[in-house]
Amino acid sequence: MVDTFGPTMSQGPHRVQRVVPVREQREPIRVLVVDDHELFRRGLEIVLAQEEDIQVIGEAGDGAEAVEKAADLLPDIVLMDVRMPRRGGIEACTSIKEVAPSARIIMLTISDEEADLYDAIKAGATGYLLKEISTDEVTAAIRAVADGQSQISPSMAAKLLTEFKSLIQRTDERRLVPAPKLTDRELEVLKLVATGKNNRDIAKDLFISENTVKNHVRNILEKLQLHSRMEAVVYAMREKILDLESG
C-alpha cells in the first residue's frame, strides 16, 4: 500500500525548513524518470528536486531510452510510465533488471488495468502507483521502495487480490517441483505482507522486532528465489502456499 506520511515542516525564525525523515544520513536516492510526456517529466523533476534525500540523475522519453540510461547511470529507483511509444514500460522493465539488477522499478501510470498491474509485477516492478496520487505519496513511495518495501496504490491492491483469488479458482495446475517449505512464522509474515502491511506494522502484530521481520522477508525471498515482496505473494497464492480466505 502507499504510505501517506509526508515530510514534516518546522517553522524557523526566517523560513519554513523541510525536515527529511529516516534517510538524512545516507546518500541521496538516485532516480531515473521515464515518461513520454516532457511536461510531466519536468514536473516530477521540480517536485523531487525539493527533496534533500532524492536526486534525479536522468530522464528518458520511452522504454528503449530508459534501458540505455539505466545501463549507463545505474539508478537506485526507476520511476516509469507503463504505456509509451517505441517500447512500453513493462517490456522495458525486464531489460532494466538485466542491465541494472540493483535498480528498483516503480510504475507511475494512469492505467488501472489489472493486466498491466500483473504484467508489471511479473516483469520485476516493485511498485505500481496511479498518477492520481499526491506528490507527497510519490516521494514517500520512492523512499519506501529504496528501503526494500513494495508500494501499490490501494485501489490496485484490491484488484490484485481479487485477481489472485480468481486465478487460484480457475487453475489447478500440477506442480512439477515441490514448493519450497516455509516455516509457520514465515507464512504468518507472508500473509501480513499480502495485506499491504509494512515491516513496522508486521512487527507490532507478531510482537517481534522490525529487524526480525526483515530477516524473515529476506529468507522468504531466498527460499522462493524471488526478487520482491509482491512477487512472493503472487507465487505463494499461485502455488496455494497462502490462502487469504483463512487469514
> pLDDT 10s digit of each residue in the chain, 247 long?
454 333 333 334 444 444 445 444 578 999 999 999 999 999 999 999 999 999 999 999 999 999 999 999 999 999 999 999 889 999 999 999 999 999 999 999 898 887 888 888 888 899 999 988 888 999 999 999 999 888 887 777 766 666 665 655 554 444 445 567 889 899 899 888 877 788 888 999 999 999 999 999 999 988 888 888 878 878 777 777 666 554 4
What cell was used for 205?
A: 502484530
Cα separations (Å) of 218 from 24, 101, 121, 181?
25, 17, 18, 15
Query: pTM for this one?
Result: 0.60
- The domain 8-159: what is its CATH number? 3.40.50.2300
List Cβ neighbours of 93 (8 Å cut-off, separation of 6 or more). 80, 105, 107, 120, 123, 124, 125
Domain ranges of the chain: 8-159, 174-242
The grid coordinates listed for 226 are 524471488
The answer to whether 164 and 234 have CB atoms below 8 angstroms apart is: yes
Fold of the 174-242 domain: Arc Repressor Mutant, subunit A (1.10.10)
State the Cα–Cα distance between residues 140 and 27, nearest whole angstrom. Answer: 16
8-159 against 174-242: fold identical: no
Q: What is the dihedral of CA 110, 106, 152, 123, to 10 degrees?
A: 90
